[in-house]
Structure 1
Amino acid sequence: MASASAGAAPPPSLIPVSAATATTSACSDTFKTEFHPHSGHPTTVETFSAYGSGSGTRPPIIDDMPWHPFTCRADFEFAELAHKAALNKDQMNELLKFIWRVADGHTKFSFKTHADVTTAWARASSQMTPFEKHIIPIDYKKETLEYEVYSRPLWDWAMDLLANPLLALHFVWDAQRLYKHNGTRFERFFHEPWTGDRWWNLQSLLPENGAPFAFILYADKTHLSLAGTVKAYPVIAHCGNLPVNIRNVDGPGGGRLVGWLPIVPEDSDEDGKLSYTNLKHVVWHESFSILLATIILLSATGFAHECYDGIQRWLFPLILILSADYEEQCVMALIRGLNSACPCPICLVPREELTDHSTTYPKRTVKDAQDRVELWSRDRIAGEAELKKQSLRPIKNALWKVKLSNPHDALSQDPLHVYHKGKFGDHLFDEFKKHVKALGRAAEKTVDEQFDAFPRWRNLNHFDHVTNIYFTDGNKFQDISRQSIYAAQNVLTRVEDEAGYALLKCIVSYLHIDMYVSLDVHTESTLAAGEAEILVFQKLLDEYIEALGDDATKNWNFPKAHASKHVFTDIREKGAARNFSTRPNEKQHGPIKRAYKLQTNGKDIANQILRLDHMTLVSGLIRSRIDYLDEERHKVMLSERELEEEDLDDQPFGGHIHLGAPQHSLTLSQLEEENASKPAFAQFRKKFSLFLNNFLPAYNIPLPDGKTWLILSARDTVQEHRFLKVNYESAVDWKLTTDYLRCNPSFHGHERRDCALIRTNDNDGNDKNIFVRILFMFKHTVGSKVLDLALVLPMDLRTGPRHAIDRDLRLTRLRARPLASSEFITLQSIIRGVLIVLDFAIPGDYFLVNYVDTDIFLRSQRQLF
C-alpha cells in the first residue's frame, strides 16, 4: 500500500464517497507507514486523500502487436476460443471449414487445420516456462518403485512474472507496518502479506539489500472422474509479492499450476500399515523436492535482479505460506495426524486438550524435528520413542531444504476447511439438523419454509430447504450458517429445546469468529475482539454440552476445533486470511476436471492436462497484452461525451449513486391510479408536493419561475427505476465498496424491495441513521434540476425493552411504521444497502442480518447506525 516509488502497488481508490458517509475527523483521517529499515525509505504520514495514491505511472506496452507470435490477432482469438470451448480435433476442423466458407476477406485469418493451431500454440508456448517430467525411484521392501512427477521450475516461473511489464509496477519487496489514526492514537492494521510480522522478521534475517521473493504454495488431491477412480494432485503457486487483487484471480500474476504430484495407489494388503503410510509421505516429499529444486540454492545465495523501479535487489526465494486442509498440513509438517499424541501441525497441544483455547502450548521447531529424525536414523527404538512424543514421522522434510521456510510457521488455518466445511458444515450444522428433527416434521417444515422466505441478496445463496440436504460445498455451508439463526430462532426456543437454544448461541459465537476471520483488513482492535470471541465460543460450547446431558455423544475434541487458537496469530504474521485461504486454489480444480472430461483421452492425463494448462497460461498472457492495447486505444478514440454516454448499469461509475433499469414515465395521476390499493402510495401527489417544498429550499435549489410554493399537477411525471448502485466507504478497509439494490415487483419471478441504511434528521434537526425499505425509486425534474428520489417505509418504531432472545442471540430488532407512514427521501441520503429479514415469531418485527458482509458486521459491532 506504499507509493510506487517505494516498490509497492497503489491500492484501489480510497476516496470518501460523499458528505453522507464522510464522518471521520481530520485526525482519524491519517495513515502512517513504517518501512523495513533495509528498504531505506523513511516513515510516511499521509492524509486519507493522499494515502496510497502512488505515482499513477502505467507500465509500457511492448509493441502494437501483442498477439505475437500468432500470425495475427484473429488467429490468436480463434485459438483462444477453441481452447476455452474444449474443442476436439474433429470439431475444430469442422469449425475451420465453416469459417473459410463464410469468410468475407475483411480480416486476416490464416488457420486451416488443427495442426496450424497446434503449431501456433507451440510457438507461443516458448514464451512461458514449460512443465518437466521426472521419474523418482523409491525403495520399498526390497523393491524399487517409480513415480512420475511433473513440475514447472518455480524460479523459472518467478522470472516469467518478473519479465511481464504489466506486472512490474505491482511487486512489493519491503515489509511495512501500517497504522491508521483512530481519533486517539495510531492503530496498526494488517492486510497484504508484507504487512504481517513474518515478512518483517524474515527480511531482518536477509542482507541489507536483500528482499524476500515470497511463494504461497497449495497442494491437495481432487477427483477427476465422477466415480472417483481417477485423481489428480495439483500444486498451485502464488506470488506473495503481488497484491491480492492480482494474486488471487485468473490472469497473469494469478495462481498457477506448477506441479503434479504422484498418488501412491491404495493397496488392500498394505493400507493401514505404518511402513506403507510412511511410503506415501516419502513419495510426497521426494516429489516436492523436485518442485523446489530451482529455489533451494537461491534461498541461501539470493538472486540479483534489477526491478522496475531501477533498484537492483538481491531476491531470496522462500516459502512464506503453505495453504492446505488439515490432511495436507499433516503431510507437509510430517506429523502422524488425527489420533496421534500431538495432532496439531503447528504446536504441541496434547490430543485431549484441543478445545482448550486458554492455554498456549510450545510451537513446533525444525531443529526438534531434525534432531529426532537424526536420532531415529542411528537408533530406531530410541528415535521412534522421541518421534512419538511429538507425533513426528521418521522422514526428512523437503521444506527444510529451503532457507527461512519453516513449515510450521508457513502453515496457516484455512477458513474454508476449518470453519465453513469443518466446524459448521461437519459439526454445528449436523447438530442443528438433529435438534430440529427431534422436534418433529412440523418443525423441519417450518425451518425449511423460513429459509425459503429469506430475502434474496447479491452473492448470498438462497435455499428453499436445508433440513434434508447433504453436500460438501463450503460456500453453501457458509451461507446457511449466516441465515440459520434467523430461520430457526422461533423453532429452537428455550422452552421447546433448551439444548437447541444453547446450540444457537454457539452458532452466533461461531458466526462472530467467522466474520472476524473474514475481514480483508484487520486492526489491533478486531484481532483482539476475535481472540476474545474464541473464549466466548469455548464457554458457550461447554454450556451446550452440559445442556445435552446424557444425550451428549459428539466428541468436540478435534483438530479443527483447535485451529481457532492459531488463526489470529496467522493474520498478525501473514496478513488477512484470504492470503492463505484455499478458496482461490480449489476454484482451479474446476478447469482441471473440465479439461480431463472434455479434452483428454483418459490416458497419460497428467501430460495432457499440463499441456492444456500451459496453453491457458500463454493465452492469458497474450490476452492481457491485447486488452491493455485495446484499453489504451479506446481511451484515445472515445470523446468525453461518448464516455459519459456509455451504459453504466454494468460498468464502474463515479459518485455516490447510479440509478438503472429505467421504466416508462408515468404521470402522477397514473401512478396513483395504478397503486390505489396500496396504503404506502395514498395521497402520493400531496405528500410528494409537501416533501419538495421542504426539501428544495433546504438544499438551496430554487423553485421554477420564481415561485414560492410548488404545486404539482396530475400531469406532472416521474420516471421509475428498479435498480440502484450505491458507493460507500467500507468500515473494513476504508475503500470504495458498491451495493446493488433492487426495487422490482418481479425480479426473476420474486418481488424485491431491498432495504437501506440512510442518514436523516430527527425532529430536533439532529442527524440520525435509520433503516428503510425502498418501495419506489424514481427521477423527477424540477425546472432544470433532475432529482433522484425514493418512496420508503421507515423501520424506526420503538421495539420496547430488549427481548431476552435478542440479547442471547445478539439480534438487532427493527419495527416498521404502518404503510401509510411512508416518506420520500433523496437517494443521496442512502449510506449503504442492508438485508432485513422477518421475525417469524412476532408479526411486524424484523431483524437486521448482521452477517451478510463484513462491513455491516463491523457497523453492528460498533453501533454505527
Structure 2
Amino acid sequence: MSRPRGTKRKRDDEPEMALCAVCHRTFDLSGVGNHQRVARRQGDPAEVGGGEGSRRGRASKEKMPLLRLTKAGTAPRRDTENIPPAAENEFYPQSNDFFPDNNAAAGPAPQRTPSPEPEPPCIESAHLPSHFILTTYHKHSGLPSKIVPLDGPLPPPKERPLAVGFNPAKPFAPFRVFADYHFTSKCVRRAESEAQIKEELDALHNEVWAGPCKLTIRTVKDMADSLAAARRMAVQFRQTTYRIEYEGRTTRFRGTHEIQFSFRDPWEVILHWLRDPTLVPYSNWFSARKFYCHGGETMEIVDEVIDEPYTAETWRQVDDELPDPFADDEHQRPAYPCVYLPIHIWLDKGQVSTKVKKHPVLMRGLWIDSVVRNASGNGGCALLAYIIMPPAVRNADRRNLSTAEKEDLVELQGLAYHGLNEHLLSSLKTRSHRGETLRFGDGVRRTGYPGIEIQSMDFQEIAAWLRMRASNALYSCPKCLVPKDWLYCLTRRFTLRTPRAMAKVVRKARKKSTKGDKEAVLKSAGLHDGKQILWGFRFSDPYKAVSYDTLHWDEGGKFGRHLWVYTKDLLTRMNRANEFNECMDQLPRWRDMDHIAAPTTIEFTEGETFLTLLKTILPGLVHLLPRNSPLIRALRALQQFRMLVGMHCMTGKRLALMKQYIKAYDLACREIDDKDFNFLKHHYTLHAPDDIRQKGTSNHMTTRTGEGFQQEVSRHYKHTSGVNAEQQMVLIDENEEVMAQLDMIVADDAERQRRAEADAEDDGDKIADPVDTADAPHWRLAAPNPKVAIGTFEAQMRNGPNSQYFDGFNMALRRHLVHSQPELQLSYESVIYIQSFRAIHVEYQSKVDWTGKRDILRCNPSFWHRPRYDCVIYNADVDPLSLARLLAIFRCTTHAGRSFDLAYVQRFKNSKWRPNTAWDGCRVVDPAPRAEFLPLEYVVRGAYLARASGTATDHYFPLDTIDDDMFLRLNNID
C-alpha cells in the first residue's frame, strides 16, 4: 500500500513518542508539531503541582548553606571558607549544591541563585570527621547531601517497616484461621503432592495423631481455593497463545505456529515493588554522586566512589534528560517529580534434567538496594516467563535437515525468541516515553519512566537478544565494531554500537536487490536482518546495557576455557602435572575457598572452583616453569584484573589501575607464542572499566546472581508431570512467592506484638542499644580450653605440634609482663593462670568500602582432623603490614586478678630469595626462629601464606588474592 502524500516513513530506531520542547510532555509523533506551535504562542496552561521535588528542593535551596570543598592537593581560601556546623548524630546533611557542575558531562547546568552564606561557625562546631563518604543527590531530587563518617561507629542499618496484610487484625488472611495458613505454608515449602496433602488432612481430621483438629481446610480443593485467594496478593501469571505466521523456504516449517505462553506483566511487577512500603527504605529514586573525603577543619575530596547503579553515569544522564522540577520557566516544570526506573533483565537457559532445558526470564528493579534486590524474598528477582519454542522447533533434529531447512529453523527460532520477548516487554515501551504517575509506597506521587539498563546473559543469549551473528562472525562484539582479527588487542578502541547506527545498517541491507549484497551489508556489522526489541524504547540502549559478567567472561572464559586449559596441557607436556597437584594439595585451608587437591585430574564446570584455582595457582606453578615465564605474568595480570573488577565498591583510582592491569595482561598474553588470544571473551576485558563507570560495580551485572534461581527451576520441574511443565512451574512459583510474603507478614505481626509488650513492661520507655565505644576491643576469643596454671600449660604445649617454640614459655611470659606491665610487680613465685582458645574473631574496617568485616582465625591442633594455625597481619612500628603465625591464643590472669589477651606468634621477615619469575606485587617472607608475644590489640586481620615449593629452606608467599581487602591492603591501594 502506498503512503499518503507528504508523510515520512518511520524508521526502525525512531521512538513512537516525542517530548515537547516547550512543556516537556510526551505526545504521539503525529501530533507533537502542532502542539509545540500552540504551546509557543499561548504558553502551557497546565498547573505545575508542588510535588516532592519542588517543595523539598526549594526549601533546601533557601535554607541550606553552600559548602565550598577542596580538591585533593589544594587549600581553600580563608576568606571563602565555610564549614558546616556539626550534626547531632553521625549524619551531616548539607546542601545539594556541593557540586554545581556535577552534571557537566550532560551540558551546562542552568544558573541558580546561590543561597546567602551564613555566618562562619566556630571551629568546634565546624569540625568534620577525619574521613567520610559524602553523597550529593541529583539536582532534580531537591534532597540535601549527607555525610557518613568512617572514623567511628557506622550508621545503623536501615530498618524495614513492618509489613501489614489485608487485615491487620488477621495477618494470615485470606486463610480463615492461623492453623490453615501454617499447614498450607508447610505443604508449599515442602512441595508436597496432592496425594501427600490428602493423606495428612485425612489423618488430622480423623484424629489419628492428636485431638480435635483446628484446621478448617478439609480437602485438597479447600487448600487450592485458599491459595488462589492468597495469590491475588502478588502479581499473577497470565496465559496467552502467541501465533507466528511463517512463510519459510521449505514446507517443513511453513505455516502457523502456536505457543502457549505464561507470563507476568513486568509493569505490574514494577508497580507491586513501587507501592510496597516495606521496600521504601531500600529504594533510591534519584541518581547521586559519592565521594571519599578527608575532613577536620577543611574538606578534601580524595576520590569519587561508585557502587550501586544510582551512583553511576547512565542513571545520572537519564535524570538530566527528565523534566526539571526547578526549571526557571514554570510551564516547563512537571506536575510531579519524574524518576527513572532502571531494570535488570536476566536470561539464561539451564539444565533441569538430563534431557530437558528451561529458559527463564528474570527481572530486578535497580532502584532497590542490592542487599534486597540480589537476595531471595520480597523485592528480589521476579520470574517473568519461560521462553518456549514452537513444537516444530523443539522436535526438529538438525542432523536430518537440509541446508534450506536449517536456515528456516534458525529464522523461525529468531522469530519466536524475539516475538515472545517483545510481547513480554510491550507494557514498558510506551511508558518509557510517556511515563506513568502513581502513588509510591511512601505516599508521594511521582512519574516513573522504566528503562532497561543492565542485561545479564552469556554470549549465546546476547547474540540472540541483539539479533547478532555468532561469536565467530566478522564483527561479533556486542559493544563495538572490532574486527574478528583484532580481538586479541586490548590497547585499541573501536567504534561503539548504537541503536541508530545498527538500524541504519539494517535499512541499508534491505535496500539491496540480491541476497548476497544484503548479507554482505549485514555481515559488515555482524547483524541478522531484524529489528532489535529495545530500538523503540526510551532510556534503553541494548548495546550499552550488555554488561561485564565475571562468571562467564573470567572464571568460565579467559581462565577456565583458555589459560587453565593451556596450563594443563603445558604441565602434561613437561611431565610435571603430578608435582603441581602435590603443591596445590599442600596449600593451607581458608574460609570461602575450596581446597583443590589434584586440579589437573578434575573437569571443572563451576565458576567458583575456577576462581579459587586462579587465586591460588602461582605458588604451586612458578617453580615448574622457566625463568621470566610470560604465562606467570599473564596469570598474575589476570589475577589483578579479576580482583579489581569484582569489587563491590569502585573508585576513580581503582578504575585507572584496572586499565593498567589490562595493558599488562595484554602484553603478557602477546608473549605466549603458542596460544591464540583472538577470542571474544578476551576482547571484552577492554569494556569492563566503562561498564562499571556507567552502570555500577560488577556484582549488579553478573549472571551469578541468577544462577541460584536455576536450582529453583530444576526443583519446580521435578514436581511437574512434564507435560506443559512451564504452566505448572509458574503456579508453583506463585504459591511459593505468596506464602513467603505471608510468612513475612505473620512474622512482622509477631514482632509488632513483642515490641508492644516490651514497651508496656518498660512503662512505655524505649531502651536504647548500647553504644560502641572507641575502647571496646575489636576481637573476641572463641572455642576455649580449660583454665590451667602456666606450668601445666607449658607442659601441654611442649607435647603439641609446635613444641620447639614452647621451651621456656613460663619465664618468657613473665619477662614480657614485667616489661609491658611494670606496675604488676610480678615475681617468679607469682601465680599466673592461662586459658587458651582455639579461635579468635577479629573485627576490622575493610579498605574496599570502609564497612566492618570479621575474620575467624584458627589456632587449633586438630581442626577437622588437621592442624591449623592461621597467620595474621599486625601493626608494628617498622612495618604496618607485619606478618606472624599464631602458635597460641590465650588469656593470662595474674595474681592481682588482672587479665590480658595475648597471642604467641612466629613472626615473618622479608626475604632476599626470589622465585623463577617474580610477578608484579610478589613478596617473599621467611619465618623467624623464635616465637614472641603479641598483644591482640595490634592484630589487624588474618593473612594467607603459601609455602614456596621446590626450595630446601622455608620461604612463604603472602597471597593478596584471598579477598578484596587483602588485595588492596598488601598492594597499598586506597
User: Which stretches in structure 1 are left out of the alignment for 5+ residues?
Assistant: 7-12, 16-24, 546-551, 647-653
Cα deviation for residue 845 of structure 1 reads 1.2
Structure 1 residues 630 and 512: CA distance shift in structure 2, 3 A: farther
Q: Secondary structure at the match of 1:608?
A: helix
Question: Within 2, Cα distance between the matches of 1:356 and 1:822?
Answer: 51
Matched residue, 2:968: 858
More deviation, 76-85/31-40: 76-85
Matched residue, 2:63: none
| 1:18-29 matched pairs, under 5 angstroms | 29=131
State whether structure 2 residue 142 is matched by structure 1 residue 40.
yes
Using the size of structure 1 for normalisation, the TM-score is: 0.87
Matched residue, 1:792: 905
State whether structure 2 residue 336 is matched by structure 1 residue 230.
no
Q: Secondary structure at the match of 1:84?
A: helix
| 1:499-538 matched pairs, under 5 angstroms | 501-538=629-666
Question: Within 2, Cα distance between the matches of 1:787 and 1:363?
Answer: 63
Question: Within 1, Cα distance between the matches of 2:414 and 2:914?
Answer: 55
Question: Within 1, Cα distance between the matches of 2:259 and 2:667?
Answer: 49
Instruction: Check the 8 A contact 2:632/2:917 in 1, yes or no.
Output: no
Instruction: Check the 8 A contact 2:204/2:213 in 1, yes or no.
Output: no
Question: Within 2, Cα distance between the matches of 1:853 and 1:576?
Answer: 16
Matched residue, 1:826: 935
Matched residue, 1:67: 172
Q: Secondary structure at the match of 1:555?
A: coil
Question: Within 2, Cα distance between the matches of 1:854 and 1:14?
Answer: 27
Q: Secondary structure at the match of 1:68?
A: coil
Instruction: Give the aligned residue type for 2:906.
Output: L
Instruction: Find the partner of 1:722 among 838, 857, 863.
Output: 838
Instruction: Check the 8 A contact 2:889/2:902 in 1, yes or no.
Output: yes
Q: Secondary structure at the match of 2:861?
A: strand
Instruction: Give the aligned residue type for 2:245.
Output: D
Cα deviation for residue 159 of structure 1 reads 1.5
State whether structure 2 residue 373 is matched by structure 1 residue 243.
no
Q: Secondary structure at the match of 1:299?
A: helix
Structure 1 residues 59 and 390: CA distance shift in structure 2, 3 A: same
Matched residue, 1:740: 856
Matched residue, 2:590: 457
Instruction: Check the 8 A contact 2:148/2:155 in 1, yes or no.
Output: no
Matched residue, 2:507: 374
Matched residue, 1:385: 520
Instruction: Check the 8 A contact 2:844/2:940 in 1, yes or no.
Output: yes
Structure 1 residues 63-96: Cα deviation after superposition (integer angstroms, max 9, x where no partner)? 3654332344454344333333332233334445
Cα deviation for residue 320 of structure 1 reads 1.0
Question: Within 1, Cα distance between the matches of 2:449 and 2:153?
Answer: 29
More deviation, 382-391/229-238: 382-391
Matched residue, 1:755: 871
Structure 1 residues 556 and 257: CA distance shift in structure 2, 3 A: same
State whether structure 2 residue 706 is matched by structure 1 residue 585.
yes
Structure 1 residues 105 and 296: CA distance shift in structure 2, 3 A: farther
Structure 1 residues 211 and 97: CA distance shift in structure 2, 3 A: same
Instruction: Check the 8 A contact 1:89/1:114 in 2, yes or no.
Output: yes
Q: Secondary structure at the match of 2:623?
A: coil
Question: Within 2, Cα distance between the matches of 1:314 and 1:49?
Answer: 39
Cα deviation for residue 515 of structure 1 reads 0.6
User: Which stretches in structure 2 are left out of the alignment for 5+ residues?
Assistant: 1-55, 58-88, 92-126, 249-253, 325-336, 770-775
Cα deviation for residue 125 of structure 1 reads 1.0
Q: Secondary structure at the match of 1:602?
A: coil
Matched residue, 2:397: 267
Question: Within 2, Cα distance between the matches of 1:516 and 1:336?
Answer: 31
| 1:758-769 matched pairs, under 5 angstroms | 758-761=874-877, 768-769=880-881
Instruction: Give the aligned residue type for 2:522.
Output: L
Matched residue, 2:236: 130
Cα deviation for residue 665 of structure 1 reads 2.3
Instruction: Find the partner of 1:31 among 128, 133, 139.
Output: 133
Question: Within 2, Cα distance between the matches of 1:448 and 1:274?
Answer: 47
Structure 1 residues 189-235: Cα deviation after superposition (integer angstroms, max 9, x where no partner)? 10000111011111222223311111100111111112xx2110100
Matched residue, 2:26: none
Question: Within 2, Cα distance between the matches of 1:215 and 1:380?
Answer: 40
Instruction: Give the aligned residue type for 2:322.
Output: L
Question: Within 2, Cα distance between the matches of 1:630 and 1:58?
Answer: 15
How many aligned positions are there? Answer: 802
Cα deviation for residue 113 of structure 1 reads 4.5
Instruction: Check the 8 A contact 1:504/1:809 in 2, yes or no.
Output: no
Instruction: Find the partner of 2:679 among 558, 565, 578.
Output: 558
Question: Within 1, Cα distance between the matches of 2:136 and 2:916?
Answer: 46
Instruction: Check the 8 A contact 2:310/2:316 in 1, yes or no.
Output: yes
Structure 1 residues 394-425: Cα deviation after superposition (integer angstroms, max 9, x where no partner)? 11112223221110011112110000000000
Question: Within 1, Cα distance between the matches of 2:546 and 2:680?
Answer: 14
Instruction: Give the aligned residue type for 1:242.
Output: I
Cα deviation for residue 51 of structure 1 reads 11
State whether structure 2 residue 932 is matched by structure 1 residue 816.
no
Structure 1 residues 295-352: Cα deviation after superposition (integer angstroms, max 9, x where no partner)? 1121111111333444322110110111111111111221112121210011111111
Instruction: Check the 8 A contact 2:505/2:525 in 1, yes or no.
Output: no
Question: Within 2, Cα distance between the matches of 1:81 and 1:404?
Answer: 43
Matched residue, 1:194: 310
Structure 1 residues 10-53: Cα deviation after superposition (integer angstroms, max 9, x where no partner)? xxx999xxxxxxxxx97760333232121123444554369984
Question: Within 1, Cα distance between the matches of 2:597 and 2:148?
Answer: 50
State whether structure 2 residue 950 is matched by structure 1 residue 836.
no
Question: Within 1, Cα distance between the matches of 2:830 and 2:196?
Answer: 65
More deviation, 35-44/405-414: 35-44
Instruction: Find the partner of 1:601 among 716, 721, 732.
Output: 721
Matched residue, 2:579: 446
Matched residue, 1:256: 382
Instruction: Give the aligned residue type for 2:376.
Output: D
Matched residue, 1:10: none
Cα deviation for residue 809 of structure 1 reads 5.4
Instruction: Find the partner of 1:84 among 189, 198, 201.
Output: 189
Instruction: Check the 8 A contact 2:475/2:482 in 1, yes or no.
Output: yes
Structure 1 residues 664 and 380: CA distance shift in structure 2, 3 A: farther
Question: Within 2, Cα distance between the matches of 1:353 and 1:790?
Answer: 56
| 1:309-320 matched pairs, under 5 angstroms | 309-320=442-453
Q: Which has the larger radius of gyration?
A: 2
Using the size of structure 2 for normalisation, the TM-score is: 0.77
Question: Within 2, Cα distance between the matches of 1:635 and 1:725?
Answer: 31
Cα deviation for residue 54 of structure 1 reads 8.1
Structure 1 residues 768-794: Cα deviation after superposition (integer angstroms, max 9, x where no partner)? 441111122223334454433322211
Structure 1 residues 372 and 76: CA distance shift in structure 2, 3 A: same
Instruction: Give the aligned residue type for 1:579.
Output: H
Instruction: Give the aligned residue type for 2:563.
Output: L
Across the aligned residues of Structure 1 and Structure 2, the Cα RMSD in angstroms comes to: 3.0
Structure 1 residues 493 and 74: CA distance shift in structure 2, 3 A: farther
Question: Within 1, Cα distance between the matches of 2:202 and 2:859?
Answer: 49
Question: Within 2, Cα distance between the matches of 1:449 and 1:536?
Answer: 30
Matched residue, 1:771: 883
- The percentage of aligned residue pairs carrying the same residue is 26
Instruction: Check the 8 A contact 1:660/1:723 in 2, yes or no.
Output: yes
Structure 1 residues 663 and 219: CA distance shift in structure 2, 3 A: same
Question: Within 1, Cα distance between the matches of 2:312 and 2:919?
Answer: 35
Matched residue, 1:166: 278
Instruction: Find the partner of 2:557 among 414, 422, 437.
Output: 422
Structure 1 residues 736 and 105: CA distance shift in structure 2, 3 A: farther
State whether structure 2 residue 525 is matched by structure 1 residue 413.
no
Structure 1 residues 633 and 49: CA distance shift in structure 2, 3 A: farther
Instruction: Check the 8 A contact 1:665/1:719 in 2, yes or no.
Output: yes
Structure 1 residues 36 and 274: CA distance shift in structure 2, 3 A: farther
Matched residue, 1:673: 795
Matched residue, 1:567: 688
Matched residue, 2:739: 619
Q: Secondary structure at the match of 2:882?
A: strand
Q: Secondary structure at the match of 1:563?
A: helix
Structure 1 residues 411 and 435: CA distance shift in structure 2, 3 A: same
More deviation, 365-374/91-100: 91-100
Structure 1 residues 517-556: Cα deviation after superposition (integer angstroms, max 9, x where no partner)? 01111100100111111111111011122xxxxxx2x432
